[in-house]
C-alpha cells in the first residue's frame, strides 16, 4: 500500500483511504479519497486552504480514474493508414528513441524539444528539465505555465528578487481591511478561496475588483472598476498618482526598504485621474475611492491574476501594481502585501525546478556559471555540457517544423492545440514535425496528432509533491497503482533516459518495471525529490530542508527552507527582500496600447477566460458528466446593446473573426460585459476554440502572449 494510504476493516468490505489534494487549481485543496468495492469517492478534509470545502471540479475529480476514454496502452501511428494503433511499450519506446536519434543526427541536439505542464508534480518538472538538458542535450524546453504566471513571475523577480505567488498565507486575505483584486475571478476559477473573501467582508473589510466583466467575483465586491481591456496599467498609475497627491505614500518605508521611487514618482505625475478615466473608462470617483481605501487601511492586500498579466505588456502592468503596493508600504507589513493568484495545480512549483527555458532547479538562472556548476555536480556531468537558455513557450511552438527549428517534440501534461494563442497556426506546426510524442491520460487534441501516445498515470495513482499558490509544499499521495499498461511520467522519463544512452547497460530488459529500470535509473519520486532538494539548495526556491516526513508532520512546508531543523517561510519580506542589498526595486512603467487596436474591420475588443465547471483546455473536465451538464458548450458573451446592433438573438450561433482566425459558438447576452467587448471561454477545441482568434504578440520580458485582448468583429453564423 502506498505511503499515506490506509485500510480499515468493516463488515463485508475493506475500504482504502488516503489523504491527498485536488488535481486542479493552485489552491491544492485537501481531500480524502476512499476506494470501496472498486469505486473511488471524494470526501471532505480539513486543510488550511479550503477548510473542508471543494468546488464541483474537486468533488467529481475521481470520476476520471476509471473513465472509459482512459488511455491504457501506447498508441503508434501506422505509416500506411495514418491511424493511431495500439502497440506494446517496447514498440512505442523503440519508435521514440529511433526517431529522436535520427532527428538529432540530422539536425543537431536542439532539433528536439520538450514541452511540459504546470500540473506536473515537482518531481516530474525537475526530472523533465534534467532529461532535456542531460539525456537529450537540448536547450529547447519550456511549459504551458508560460501562458499563466510568467508576467507576474518576472515582475516579482525584478521588484522583490523572488517569485512566489503569495508571500503570505492565504488566511491573511480574510483579515485585510482592503482587498484589491485585479483581473481575478476566484468565484469561478478557485471557488473555495471565496470563503476568505466572505470572511474579509464579514469582518468589515472592503473588496474592490478590477475587471472588464461583472464576473461572479465582481458582483460580490463593494466596488467594481470596469476598465477597457488592456488599460489596467493606466489605472494602477492613476491610483499611485492619487496616493501621492493625498499623502498616503509611506515615505519612511520607501526610504528604508526600497530603491528607485523618484523615477516612478516622475512617471505617475502625468497620470492624473481624468486622463486615466478618458483612457480606461473608469470614473475618477471610483479611482479616488479605491486609492483612499488602500491608502488609509491598516491592512491592505493587492492581488493580480491573468486578466492583468496575459498581455504583451503584462510584466509592466503587474509592475505598476507592485509599485503601488511598495509605495503604500504593504509588502512585509503584517496582514498586508502584494501577491498573485497562481492558476494551475503546480503553477508555483512547476516553474521553480527546471522546465522553464532559462532556469535550473531552485529557480536558478541557467546562464549563471555558479548555478551551472552546482546543478551539474548534482547531475554528475561537466558544467560545459549543459545547454544554454532556450526560448519561451510560444516562440518554441511557433518554430516547430520550420527551417532551423525543432523537428521533434515531446509533450508531458499539456494540450497546446487548444491552449496556445493563434492555435490553428500551432496546430499546423505540430503537423509539420518529424516526430511528435505525447504522454497523457486521455486522447487530447494534441495527442490525436501524435506519432506516439504514451498512457500516463493520474494524480491518485502516484506519489509526489506539489507547491500551491502560497509556496506551501504539499504531499500528493497515491490511493492505488496505475492500471496495467499505464506508467508514471517518471518511469517513462527514466526508461527513455536509459534507452538513449550511447552504450546501453547489458542488464537492461525490454520492459523495465515502473519503479526502477534495470540499470538503476530511478523512477521513485521519493528519490527524485531527494535529488531535487540537493539541486535546489542555496537557490531562490530552496527546498533543501523539506522532506516528505516533515510535510507529513504538518500542513505542508513553505519554501525557502534551507535546513531540516530550521524554520520554513510562511511569510516573506518582514525584514529584508532577497535582493543583493535587501531592498525592493521600483520600476517606472508607462501605459502603451494593446498590440492590436480596433479598426473599422475589427471594431470590438475580444477577451478570454474561464467558467466554473471547466478547467484549462477541458481535456479532463469535458469528460465528467456533472461538469458537462453544468457547462456543456462554449459560448460568446455579448452585451444586449451590441447584440441588438448586430441583429443577434440570445442562443443564436455567431462567428467571432480576427486577423488570425475565427470561432463559432452560440451568443449569450449579458448586461455584465462592456458593449465594446466580447468574451469567450477557452476550454473547448474545434470550431469553438477561442485561441483560434487570440493574438500571438508576446511580452518582451516574460514571453507571455496577449490572450486578453485583440480586435475582432462578430457576425451571424
Burial group, residue 435, by CB count within 10 angstroms (0-12, 13-18, 19+): buried
- Give Dmax (Cα) for the chain: 76
Least confident of 83-87, 356-360, 502-506, 690-694: 502-506
494 and 371: one domain? yes
Which pLDDT score is estimated for 13? 58
Average pLDDT over residues 445-461: 98
138 and 187: one domain? no
Residue 594 lies in a domain: no
- CATH number of the domain enclosing 615: 2.40.40.20
Residue 496 lies in a domain: yes
Residue 659 lies in a domain: yes
Domain boundary among 525, 549, 575: 525
30 and 88: one domain? no
Residue 69 lies in a domain: no
217 and 331: one domain? yes
Which pLDDT score is estimated for 504? 53
Residue 647 lies in a domain: yes
- CATH number of the domain enclosing 14: 2.20.25.90
d(CA 497, CA 492) in angstroms, rounded, equals: 9
**Residue keyed to cell 490511493:** 479
Q: What is the mean pLDDT of the chain?
A: 94
337 and 383: one domain? no
Backbone angles phi, psi at 18, to 5 degrees: -150, 140
Q: Could you tell me the pLDDT band of residue 4, with boundaries at 50, 70 and 90? A: very low
pLDDT tens digit sequence for 477-492:
999 999 999 999 999 9
pLDDT higher than threshold 60 for residue 518: no
358 and 421: one domain? yes
668 and 634: one domain? yes
176 and 307: one domain? yes
381 and 512: one domain? yes
Which pLDDT score is estimated for 522? 76
**Residue keyed to cell 492583468:** 308
Cell numbers for 216: 461572479
pLDDT higher than threshold 80 for residue 505: no
3-state secondary structure of 710: strand
Beta bridge partners of 473: 467, 557
pLDDT higher than threshold 50 for residue 520: no
- CATH number of the domain enclosing 433: 3.40.50.740
247 and 377: one domain? no
pLDDT higher than threshold 50 for residue 6: no
Residue 591 lies in a domain: no
159 and 247: one domain? yes
Whether the CB-CB separation of 211 and 218 falls below 8 Å is answered with: yes
Average pLDDT over residues 644-653: 97
Residue 438 lies in a domain: yes
Predicted TM-score of the model (pTM):
0.94
d(CA 717, CA 703) in angstroms, rounded, equals: 34
pLDDT higher than threshold 60 for residue 320: yes
Whether the CB-CB separation of 357 and 368 falls below 8 Å is answered with: no
Angle, CA of 229, 235 and 240, to the nearest 5°: 160
Beta bridge partners of 30: 21
* Residue 93 structural domain: 75-147+347-463+484-525
- CATH number of the domain enclosing 189: 3.40.228.10
Which pLDDT score is estimated for 474? 97
pLDDT higher than threshold 90 for residue 689: yes
Which pLDDT score is estimated for 503? 63
Average pLDDT over residues 191-198: 96
d(CA 705, CA 276) in angstroms, rounded, equals: 24
pLDDT tens digit sequence for 125-155:
999 999 999 999 999 999 999 999 899 999 9
Domain boundary among 508, 525, 542: 525
Cell numbers for 541: 526556491
Q: Secondary structure of 465-481 in the HEC alphabet?
A: EEECCCCEEEEECCCCC
Q: Structurally, how many domains does the chain consist of? A: 4
Provide the percentage of residues in the chain whose pLDDT is more than 70: 96
Residue 567 lies in a domain: no
Whether the CB-CB separation of 120 and 489 falls below 8 Å is answered with: yes
218 and 309: one domain? yes
Amino acid at each position: 500500500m502506498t505511503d499515506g494510504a490506509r485500510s480499515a476493516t468493516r463488515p463485508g468490505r475493506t475500504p482504502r483511504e488516503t489523504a491527498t489534494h485536488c488535481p486542479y487549481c493552485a489552491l491544492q485543496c485537501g481531500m480524502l479519497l476512499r476506494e470501496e468495492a472498486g469505486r473511488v469517492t471524494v470526501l471532505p478534509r480539513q486543510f488550511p486552504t479550503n477548510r473542508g470545502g471543494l468546488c464541483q471540479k474537486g468533488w467529481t475529480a475521481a470520476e476520471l480514474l476509471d473513465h472509459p476514454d482512459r488511455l491504457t496502452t501506447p498508441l503508434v501511428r501506422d505509416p500506411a493508414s495514418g491511424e493511431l494503433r495500439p502497440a506494446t511499450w517496447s514498440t512505442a519506446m523503440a519508435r521514440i528513441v529511433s526517431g529522436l536519434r535520427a532527428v538529432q543526427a540530422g539536425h543537431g541536439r536542439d532539433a528536439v524539444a520538450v514541452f511540459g505542464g504546470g500540473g506536473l508534480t515537482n518531481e516530474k518538472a525537475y526530472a523533465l528539465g534534467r532529461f532535456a538538458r542531460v539525456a537529450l542535450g537540448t536547450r529547447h524546453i519550456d511549459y504551458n505555465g508560460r501562458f499563466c504566471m510568467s508576467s507576474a513571475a518576472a515582475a516579482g523577480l525584478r521588484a522583490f528578487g523572488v517569485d512566489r505567488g503569495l508571500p503570505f498565507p492565504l488566511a491573511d486575505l480574510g483579515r485585510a481591511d482592503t482587498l484589491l483584486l485585479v483581473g481575478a475571478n476566484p468565484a469561478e476559477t478557485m471557488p473555495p478561496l471565496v470563503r476568505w473573501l466572505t470572511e474579509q467582508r464579514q469582518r468589515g473589510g472592503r473588496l474592490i475588483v478590477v475587471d472588464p466583466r461583472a464576473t461572479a467575483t465582481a458582483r460580490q465586491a463593494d466596488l467594481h472598476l470596469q476598465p477597457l481591456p488592456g488599460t489596467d496599467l493606466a489605472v494602477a498609475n492613476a491610483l499611485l498618482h492619487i496616493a501621492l497627491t493625498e499623502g498616503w505614500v509611506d515615505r519612511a518605508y520607501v526610504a528604508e526598504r526600497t530603491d528607485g521611487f523618484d523615477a516612478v514618482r516622475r512617471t505617475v505625475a502625468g497620470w492624473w485621474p481624468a486622463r486615466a478615466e478618458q483612457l480606461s473608462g473608469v470614473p475618477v470617483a471610483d479611482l479616488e475611492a479605491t486609492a483612499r481605501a488602500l491608502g488609509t487601511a491598516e491592512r491592505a492586500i493587492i492581488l493580480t491574476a491573468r486578466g492583468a498579466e496575459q498581455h504583451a505588456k503584462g510584466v509592466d502592468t503587474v509592475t505598476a501594481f507592485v509599485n503601488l503596493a511598495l509605495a503604500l508600504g504593504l509588502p512585509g507589513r503584517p496582514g498586508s502585501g502584494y501577491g498573485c493568484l497562481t492558476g494551475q495545480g503546480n503553477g508555483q512549483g512547476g516553474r521553480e525546478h527546471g522546465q522553464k527555458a532559462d532556469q535550473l532547479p531552485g529557480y536558478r538562472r541557467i546562464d549563471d556559471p555558479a548555478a551551472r556548476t552546482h546543478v551539474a555536480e548534482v547531475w554528475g556531468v561537466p558544467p560545459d555540457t549543459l545547454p544554454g537558455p532556450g526560448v519561451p513557450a510560444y516562440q518554441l511552438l511557433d518554430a516547430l517544423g520550420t527551417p532551423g527549428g525543432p523537428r521533434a517534440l515531446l509533450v508531458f501534461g499539456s494540450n497546446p492545440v487548444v491552449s496556445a494563442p493563434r492555435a490553428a497556426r500551432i496546430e499546423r506546426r505540430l503537423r509539420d514535425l518529424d516526430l511528435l510524442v505525447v504522454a497523457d491520460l486521455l486522447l487530447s487534441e494534441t495527442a490525436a496528432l501524435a506519432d506516439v501516445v504514451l498512457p500516463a498515470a493520474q494524480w491518485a495513482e502516484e506519489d509526489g509533491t506539489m507547491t500551491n499558490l502560497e509556496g506551501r509544499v504539499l504531499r500528493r499521495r497515491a490511493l492505488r497503482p496505475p492500471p496495467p499498461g499505464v506508467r508514471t511520467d517518471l518511469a517513462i522519463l527514466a526508461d527513455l533516459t536509459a534507452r538513449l544512452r550511447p552504450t546501453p547497460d547489458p542488464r537492461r530488459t525490454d520492459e523495465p518495471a515502473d519503479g526502477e529500470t534495470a540499470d538503476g535509473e530511478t523512477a521513485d519520486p521519493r528519490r527524485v525529490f531527494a535529488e531535487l532538494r540537493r539541486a535546489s539548495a542555496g537557490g531562490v526556491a530552496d527546498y533543501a530542508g523539506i522532506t516528505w516526513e516533515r510535510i507529513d508532520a504538518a500542513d505542508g512546508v513553505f519554501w525557502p527552507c534551507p535546513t531540516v531543523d530550521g524554520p520554513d517561510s510562511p511569510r516573506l519580506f518582514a525584514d529584508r527582500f532577497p535582493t543583493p542589498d535587501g531592498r525592493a526595486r521600483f520600476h517606472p512603467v508607462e501605459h502603451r496600447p494593446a498590440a492590436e487596436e480596433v479598426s473599422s474591420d475589427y471594431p470590438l475588443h475580444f477577451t478570454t477566460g474561464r467558467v466554473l465547471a471547466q478547467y484549462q483546455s477541458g481535456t479532463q473536465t469535458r469528460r465528467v458528466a456533472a461538469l458537462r451538464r453544468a457547462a456543456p458548450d462554449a459560448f460568446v458573451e455579448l452585451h444586449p446593446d451590441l447584440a441588438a446592433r448586430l441583429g443577434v438573438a440570445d442562443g443564436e450561433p455567431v462567428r467571432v473573426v480576427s486577423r488570425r482566425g475565427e470561432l463559432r459558438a452560440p451568443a449569450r447576452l449579458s448586461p455584465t460585459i462592456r458593449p465594446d467587448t466580447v468574451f469567450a471561454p477557452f476550454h473547448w477545441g474545434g470550431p469553438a476554440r477561442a485561441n483560434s482568434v487570440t493574438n500571438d504578440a508576446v511580452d518582451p520580458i516574460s514571453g507571455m502572449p496577449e490572450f486578453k485582448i485583440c480586435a475582432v468583429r462578430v457576425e451571424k453564423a
